[in-house]
Structure formats: C-alpha cells, structure tokens
Amino acid sequence: MSSRRIFARPARFAAIAPYVWMALFFLVPFAFVLKISLSQTAIAQPPYEPVFDLTAGWEALKAALAALSIDNFRLLGSDDIYVFAYVRSLTVAVTATALLLLFGYPIAYGMARLPKRWQAVAMVLVIVPFWTSFLIRIYAWINILQHDGLLNQILLALHLVSQPVVWLSTDTAMYIGIVYSYLPFMILPLYATLAKMEPALEEAASDLGAPPWQVFWLVTFPLSLPGVGAGVLLCFIPIVGEFVIPDLLAGSNALMIGQTLWLEFFTNKDWPVASAAAIVLLVVLLLPLLLYERLQKRQLEQGR
C-alpha cells in the first residue's frame, strides 16, 4: 500500500466532526429558508405560519404543507423595488469588481516582482488592514468623507473646489468603501498566481523581441488568468449581497438587495418575503458560486 493510502484512511475520519457541523449549521438552515419562503407572515412568535409541529400528527402536517405557497416569489417578481434591487446589486458588483481588478492588479504585480525577502513583508502589509475590523475601516472612510472631513479640507486648501463637496450618501463613497474593503481579496489570489510564474518566461519573451508592454500583455497577463478568475469571483459574489457598505456610505434612494433583505427582515418583520429574496439571491449567484467552487478546488488541490 502506498504511503498516501496509509495516510488517507485515518485522515478521512478527521472529516466527520466538521462534516456534521457544516451539514447541521450550513446545509440544513437552507432548507428552513426555503420553507419559510413558502410561508406567510403572521403576527405571532415566530412571525410566520404555518409552523410545522411534528407532534401534532400527520393530518396537521398535511394541512401545514398545503398552506405553503409561492406567493412571496410572485411578490418579488411583480414589485419593481425588488427587481430593481437585484439589477442594481449586479451592476454595482460588476463595476466594483472591475475597479478592484484595475487597482488590485498593479499592486499584486508590484508585489510579485519584489525581491523574495520583501515579498513576505509586503504580504503582511497588505493583509494587516484586512485583519483590522471591516466596520472600523468603513467608519474611517466616513470620517474622511464627511462634510467637514479630511478630504474636503484638503480640496479646499488646495483650492480645487470652492465649497465642500458632498461625498457621503453617494455612489462614489460606496464604491470607495467597497474597493477599500475588498482590495486584499483581489490582491492575494492575483499575487499568488503571479509569484509562481517563472521570471524566465518574461525574459524569453523579451529575448524574442517583445517590448515590455507586449511582454506583459502576451505572456504575463494570460498566465495570471487563474488568479484573475479567483480574485474576481472572490469579490463579485459577496459584493452582490453587501449590506453594511451601501447602508453606511450610499444614498438611500437606491437599495441593493442586501439592504432590501435587511429591511424586510428587521423593519417590516416580514420573514417569509425576506427568505424568498434570499432564495432568489442564491439562485442568481448559483452559477458564479459553482465556478468559484471549481476554481478553488483546482487551486488548492494542485497546490497552485
């Protein structure tokens, strides 16, 4: 028996505890979301009906099942607010991801070209803000972007504007916040792929007559595509469902789906509709999610 197989047997047992945990606390809850999405609101505790009471017998169960309906989904489809929220979420996510790629790529590329010793330092420097609270970092931007905040102070001092500009409660502020928060998620996978590329490939391209920008476009960029894919998906998917950043930095006239969900749940106390919205969001994200799973699997298991 090869040594790999000898290890495989006991290693599989290690999967039991996490497996059970994740099945219980990750998979099973989705079943509940589905069930609630098919229920109605009720002024009760819990605020939905029907409630499955397994002790009430088979008849009660059948009656409860009959009370399920897809009304909530119909509501989502018909009411403009929701459709608009989904569209806006996707638009924001695409734009933000593009911005992240635009800013993150040069940073990751610069990191990959540092001498080896400095690369570790650079990586720590990029990660540390990420480990500093997410909320704090958004708050830091509120600080800077507010009416008499630092940005306006600088602009006024440099005479670039004559009056303080309104930054907060705008899409610009939201994009700044998103790019700021998600930058490490874009940089790290990109850096990981770029750092693994052998420098001789760029040298060979140069040797064969390609000037520096062509070396980048014909050799470096195509070979970094797996990292680009990972970074893009790692950012796009969560941004679609973002709540905190749009809530704190964007205006309140156009909501993203995360905000709509929150509102339905906490303000309107309409759990069924919120659940339906969550299901639709999941469906929308299904394709990118599967893509991401594939990419993640390939990268981690090939040690790339």
Partner 1 sequence: MRKVSRLSRFNIASLALGLAFLYLPILILVLYSFNASRLVTVWGGWSLRWYREFFNDRAMIEAAWMSLRVAVSSATIATLLGTLAAVALSRGERFRGRTLFSGMLYAPLVMPEVITGLSLLLLFVALNAERGFWTVTIAHTTLTMCFVAVVVQSRLGSLDRSLEEAAMDLGWNPVRAFMAVTLPLIAPAIVAGWMLAFTLSLDDLVIASFTTGPGSATLPIRIYSEVRLGVKPEINAICTLVIALIAVIIVIASLASKLSSSQGESAAPL
Partner 2 sequence: MAEELPGRDVQADVTGGDALPAAGQPLLRIEGVAKRFGTFRAVDGVSLDIKSGEFFALLGPSGCGKTTLLRMLAGFEAPDEGHILLGGKDIAQALPHERPINMMFQNYALFPHLSVRDNIAFGLKRAGMARAEIATRVAEMVALVKLEGLEKRKPDQLSGGQRQRVALARALARRPQLLLLDEPLAALDKKLRESTQGELMELQRRLGMTFIIVTHDQEEAMTMASRIGVMKAGKLAQVASPRELYEAPRSRWIAEFVGDINLFDGETKLRDGHRLVIGTRDAGALVVAEPREPLGTGKFAVAIRPEKVKLSRRAPVSEVGRETAINLLDGVIADICYLGGTTTYKVKLDSGGMLQASVVNSARLDVDAYSLNQHVVAWFTPDDCVVLPS
Q: Which of 52, 58, 21 is nearest to 39 (CA)?
A: 52
57 contacts partner 2 (rule: CB under 8 A): no
Binding to partner 1 in span 164-223, by CB under 8 A:
180, 183, 187, 199, 212
Binding to partner 1 in span 68-97, by CB under 8 A:
none
3-class secondary-structure state, position 217: helix
Q: Which does 80 bind (CB under 5 to 8 A by kind): partner 1, partner 2, none?
A: none
Size of the site for partner 2 (CB under 8 A): 17
Q: How far apart, in whole angstroms, are the C-alpha atoms of residue 183 and residue 101?
A: 9
Q: How far apart, in whole angstroms, are the C-alpha atoms of residue 258 and residue 249?
A: 14
Q: How far apart, in whole angstroms, are the C-alpha atoms of residue 11 and residue 256?
A: 43
Q: Which is nearer to partner 1, 95 or 299 (CB)?
A: 299
Q: Give the one residue of 59, 80, 148, 198 binding partner 1; rule: CB under 8 A.
A: 148
Angstrom distances, CA of residue 292 to CA of 39, 52, 267, 304: 31, 35, 33, 15
99-138 footprint of partner 1 as x/- string (CB under 8 A): ----x--xx-xxx-xx----xxxxxxxxxxx-xxxxxxx-
44 contacts partner 1 (rule: CB under 8 A): no
Q: Which does 163 bind (CB under 5 to 8 A by kind): partner 1, partner 2, none?
A: none
304 contacts partner 2 (rule: CB under 8 A): no
Q: How far apart, in whole angstroms, are the C-alpha atoms of residue 219 and residue 247?
A: 41
Q: Which is nearer to partner 2, 157 or 200 (CB)?
A: 200
Binding to partner 1 in span 2-31, by CB under 8 A:
3-15, 17-19, 21-23, 25-30
303 contacts partner 2 (rule: CB under 8 A): no
**Which amino acid, 123?**
M
Binding to partner 2 in span 171-210, by CB under 8 A:
198, 200-201, 203-210
67 contacts partner 1 (rule: CB under 8 A): no
Q: Which is nearer to partner 2, 143 or 214 (CB)?
A: 214
Q: How far apart, in whole angstroms, are the C-alpha atoms of residue 273 and residue 261?
A: 8
Q: Give the one residue of 85, 99, 250, 261 binding partner 1; rule: CB under 8 A.
A: 261
Q: How far apart, in whole angstroms, are the C-alpha atoms of residue 174 and residue 143?
A: 14
Tokens describing residue 160: 């670039």
Binding to partner 2 in span 211-230, by CB under 8 A:
211, 214, 218-219, 222-223
The set of residues, in sequence order, having a beta carbon less than 8 Å from that of 192 and lying 6+ positions away, is 227
Q: Is 140 exposed, middle or buried (0-12, 13-18, 19+ CB in 10 A)?
A: middle
Count of other CB atoms within 10 angstroms of residue 294: 12
Binding to partner 1 in span 280-299, by CB under 8 A:
281-282, 285, 289, 292-293, 296-297
Q: How far is the CB of 14 from partner 2 (least distance, A)?
A: 33
The radius of gyration computed from the CA coordinates of the chain, to the nearest angstrom, equals 25
Tokens describing residue 62: 């059948």
Q: Which residues bind partner 2 (CB under 8 A)?
A: 198, 200-201, 203-211, 214, 218-219, 222-223
